[in-house]
Amino acid sequence: MLDELGLSSSLELMHRKGFEWAQTVYGLRVLGMLHGHARCLGVGSGHEAILYWLANHVGDVTATDLYEGEWALQGALEGDPDVLLDPSKYAPFDYRQDRLRFLRMDGRHLEFDDDSFDIVFSLGSIEHFGGNQAAAQAMREKARVCRPHGVVVVATELILNDRQHAEFFTIDELREHIVAASGMKLIQPPRFEIPGYALRHPCIMPEETHRTPHLILDFEGVVTTSVIFFLRHE
């Protein structure tokens, strides 16, 4: 699975983004959601490789993001607006171009009809939508556009210590603003098991942005990692 996404299986090179992509693909496979008739929506998805992978495995994929500001101009340039004009420029491998489109859109106000998609996903972006209430609004929007029996996948930042952060989530905040706000059923509770080595050796941000393994991050004393949820729209 990692090979399919262009990722390394080496522990030394492991990155949270690879975890998020691999877990999304694995979960959707287990749930039987990857088929030729499935409609998929990425929210705050930039031009990540998983979009191109999904285009080869489902009926169609719509990627949405603001494609402006910090994520377009800095860091990994995950939201470069050039993708709106030339999606193939960012393709990590061959993909079915007729099954993937990119649209500029605010994840808190999705411009789609109710019950439009079988799969809705947001990986490492909802924490940047403007705080807990904005995240809750984005979850309600995801649930609205997801069809009955469809699946919503959300990966975000879990705070591991007793600190607070304006963008990241404690376990209680995740329960309230991600799971409960969606009104959907949590398919399986996440398992909060973290390798001891990773906890003892977090990447100090932003100085060690590119250090691997990139699993636990320290933002001025706020220690976080990725957590992923699968929710069913009943």
In a domain, 180, yes or no: yes
In a domain, 155, yes or no: yes
In a domain, 220, yes or no: no
Q: What percent of the chain has pLDDT over 90?
A: 76
DSSP codes of every residue in 177-216: IIIIHHTPEESSPPP----HHHHHSPEETTTTTT-SSB--
Total count of domains within the chain: 1
Res. 3 pLDDT band, cuts 50 70 90:
low
List alpha helices for the chain, DSSP H.
Answer: 16-30, 49-55, 70-73, 132-145, 171-174, 181-182, 196-200
In a domain, 49, yes or no: yes
In a domain, 159, yes or no: yes
For residue 84, pLDDT beyond 90 = yes
In a domain, 202, yes or no: no
Res. 198 pLDDT band, cuts 50 70 90:
confident
The predicted pLDDT at position 77 comes to 58
For residue 101, pLDDT beyond 90 = yes
In a domain, 102, yes or no: yes
Q: Which CATH number does the domain housing residue 142 bear?
A: 3.40.50.150
Domain with 125 in it: 11-193+225-232
In a domain, 206, yes or no: no
Instruction: Please tell me the pTM assigned to this model.
Output: 0.92
Res. 195 pLDDT band, cuts 50 70 90:
confident
